[in-house]
Every structure is written in C-alpha cells, then in structure tokens.
Amino acid sequence: PVNIPGFNEEPKPQVPFEDIEMELRTMREVADPDQVGVLDDDALLKCTSAISIEWEHTLAKYTSRGLPHDETALALAAVGDNEETVRMFVDGFIKMKELGFLPPAIIGALIVNNNLVSPAIDTVVP
C-alpha cells in the first residue's frame, strides 16, 4: 500500500473552502512532492489572486450543474478543468468520505488511482 499523508490524522472541523490558508494547504498536499516548497506563501497568494476570477467562474460552471462547492474546488485543484474527471473525482471523494476516510488521504488515493474508488480504497486501507 502507498503511504498517504494525513491518513491517520484526527478529523478536523469543516471550514468553508473560501479560507485561503486551507486552499494553500490543500495545494501543498495535492502537489507533486518534488514541487512542494518551490513557491513560498507570498508567491502562492499572488498566483491565487491572479487566477481567482477565472477560478470562481470555472467553479461556478460546475456548481451550477449540481456539483457540491467544496468537493468540486478540490477536484479542480487536483485534476484540472475536465468535466468527466471532475465528476469522477467528486463522486469518489463523496463515497470515500462517507466511508470515513480523511480528505488528505482521499485526495491522494484518488489521484494515484485515476479517480477509481475501489483501487483508491485499497491504497489507503493498510
């Protein structure tokens, strides 16, 4: 099995995804390990600000089609703007969260397993 960071962490209270610190932490958790730390917080904030209008428009496109806001935002950060992969990621994320897995473990497992739920579960279950 692949070691997914955050799998054994205690659950944290849910907070709105609009929290920029959470977005930055999520970007770091999802990022390629070789790229973590390449940009400092100020550079990440500038990048986030520059794309925020386009990001919100893209996010609104999916939420207007019935996808949940927070899970869709994670999907866009993890897999990019591709409707099929965003929907697969969101569906898989929701299923795995209902099973009790923590978000960082879910995100990593879905990315590694091309959004396929059964292999993703196998990845996080020791």
For the whole model, what pTM was predicted?
0.60
The phi and psi torsions of 5 (rounded to 5 degrees) equal -60, 140
Looking at 64-116, list the stretches that DSSP marks H as alpha helix, in order from N- to C-terminal side. Answer: 69-79, 83-98, 103-112
Q: Per-residue pLDDT tens, the chain, 126 aa: give them.
A: 555 555 555 544 444 445 556 665 665 555 554 544 444 555 555 555 555 667 788 989 999 999 999 899 989 988 989 999 999 999 999 999 999 999 889 999 999 999 999 999 999 987
